[in-house]
Structure 1
Amino acid sequence: MSAQATIEHRRYLETLRVEAELLADTAAGARHEARVPSCPGMALGETVRHVGSVYRVVRAWLAEGTRPEQWQRDPRDGESVEDYLRAGLSELLPELDVADPEAPVDTWWPADRTVGFWQRRMAHETTIHRVDVQSAAGVPVREIPEDVALDGIDEVLHVWFGHRLGQLGVTGTREGTVGLHAGDRAWWVRADPTQSTVRRVDARDAGNVDARVHGSAERVYLWLWGRTPTTEVTTEGDVDAVAQLWALLRLATR
């Protein structure tokens, strides 16, 4: 298992397969025009198309060894978005299902340039958008397993908050530190006008922070991705520090 992953890599592939099929099955029985409640401007069908396009760009990235400029971004004439997604997954999985997840490949995160990065990224990309599709379809949203949600918290904090914001040239407007707690894990995050920083810490103490956020692994995971309101987690301390973390993640993950 790579240094960045917190669960076994086979678990990522299992999650990707299950979540993709659930996403496609839900979409097949729903109105594609239905709006995604937590993503203004996004519709159910467009969300499925987006995931299918992501599968293809990642597959091309793995095959070409660098970020591709061209890939199939839309279904072919007469092809449903569900079939487009499934076909994209069938092309991507052989590239991800490798004996050594630590095999070197190009990625957009310098801390992890291995196949394992893409296994992890695709598992969470699919899980979050499955939640979107089920929410838009008005059906019960399937529970996210705790181990997957905990790993997802770690991924969104390190990859998106800790790295992606810097790529975008986005920083906080004030110094603010937040301790996040879920299950038996904790993270310390800091935003200020120069950078965004995150580190894993002992679950018993997230250090000297301005605010704390805690809840079930699933609730914290979905909150960090903007899929559930702040009322679904428990917050303590400086509300502005919490609001800044949430707002910065909306910019990082859009």
Structure 2
Amino acid sequence: MPGSDRPDLDALTLLQEQFRDSIDEVSPDAPMPWGGRWKARNLVNHLARVHHWAAAQASRSRELPLGRDALTTSDAYATHAGALAATLAGLDPRQPAWTLLDDGAAPGDRTGTVGFWDRRQKLETLIHLWDLRTAGGLAMEADDSLWRDCVAEVVEVMHPRQLRLARVSAPVARLVLVAADDAWEVSGAPHGAPSVEIFGAPRDLALLCWGRLPLDGGSLRVAGDSLLAREVLDEGLTP
């Protein structure tokens, strides 16, 4: 919405609406080739539960148990999507929140705010909307600015967290992701490490970061040692 002071929240709400509407267009048994044994129903259940969890993190409140019943219908999803959006809208985006920025940090060193969840849930929903519609053979239109932000978040938040939690090893190369005039460098490579650049459309770079697109897929082009690029990507830039 033009002029809004919460553009990430506005985008989240629109993406949630598209996800809800897509649920009834895709068979619940549609497989997710990039998600192991997951089918569409598992994806819907996952995102509904993530929204529920994120609302508690944003408000720094105890998460109420949802039980084991699967949340696979558009109505069930809409309930938790709406609750998240309402929770975020009712909070000042500048106030402290529990976020992925502060794992293990002392209380006085925490920097996370409610606004973190506006962005994180926007991008979580973006990726899973692509998952759902692609599994159903449906087209998806999203502004390049969303996909650019998705790449930026991986480099700024998700991969540094992977390193901080020792889930991945330091990159063996300086991996730079390039989309037109924008470039993002994956952090953590040792001094003097060789540089590898991956050029592509913002959407393809975002899907590459999240393991939805192979390095030789889409419009991607590699400048440098592609084997080193694969080694960095295989470690995992995201959870």
TM-score over 0.5 (shorter chain): yes
1:103 aligns with 2:103: no
Q: What TM-score results when the alignment is normalised by the length of structure 2? A: 0.84
Name 1:129's counterpart in structure 2: 128
User: Distance between the aligned counterparts of 1:120 and 1:74, measured in 2?
Assistant: 28
For residue 175 of structure 1, report the CA deviation from its aligned partner: 2.5
Q: Residue 230 of structure 1 aligns to a residue in which SS?
A: coil
Matches for 1:67-86 after TM superposition, within 5 Å:
68=62, 70-72=64-66, 75=69, 80-86=72-78
CA distance in 1 between partners of 2:112 and 2:167 (Å): 22
Deviation at residue 62 of structure 1 after TM alignment:
2.8
Q: State the one-letter code of the partner of 1:214.
A: F
Partner amino acid, structure 1, of 2:118: Q
Residues 4-83 of structure 1 aligned to structure 2 (within 5 Å)? 10-63=6-59, 65=60, 68=62, 70-72=64-66, 75=69, 80-83=72-75
Aligned residues: 227
Q: CA RMSD in A?
A: 2.6
- Aligned twin of 2:107: none
Q: 141, 157, 162: which one pairs with 2:155?
A: 157
Q: CA-to-partner distance for each residue in 1:190-247, whole Å, 9 max, x for gaps? A: 445xx8x9xxxxxxxxx98521011111111111111122122111101122112211
What residue number does 2:106 align with?
none
1:49 Cα deviation (Å)?
0.7
Larger mean Cα displacement after TM superposition, 124-133 or 83-92: 83-92
* Residue of 226, 234, 237 corresponding to 1:247: 234
Identify if the C-alpha distance between structure 1 residues 181 and 188 changes in structure 2 by more than 3 Å, giving closer, same or farther. same
The Cα shift of 1:182 comes to 1.4
Task: Point out where structure 1 has 5 or more consecutive residues left out of the alignment.
Answer: 1-7, 198-206
Separation in structure 2 between the aligned mates of residue 161 and residue 28 of structure 1, nearest angstrom: 34
Q: Give the Cα–Cα distance (whole angstroms) in 2 for the partners of residues 44 and 87 of structure 1.
A: 18
Partner of 1:167: 165
* Equivalent pair of 2:172/2:231 in contact (CA under 8 Å): no
Work out the CA distance in 2 between the residues paired with 1:10 and 1:70: 26
Contact 2:176/2:197, CA 8 A, preserved across alignment:
yes
Does 1:178 find its partner at 2:198?
Answer: no
Alignment of 1:136-215 (within 5 A): 136-140=135-139, 142-172=140-170, 175-192=172-189, 209-215=194-200
Q: Please give the alpha-carbon distance, in whole angstroms, between the structure 2 residues aligned to 1:165 and 1:208.
A: 17
Distance 1:112 1:244, change over 3 A: farther
Letter in 1 for 2:14: V
In 1, the alpha carbon distance for the partners of 2:136 and 2:229 equals 30
Match of 1:202 in 2: none
Q: 1:38 to 1:146 in 2, by over 3 A?
A: same
Cα deviations across residues 83-121 of structure 1 (Å, max 9, x unaligned)?
111100111112212574222212121375001111110
Letter in 2 for 1:217: P
Question: CA shift at 1:43, angstroms?
Answer: 0.7
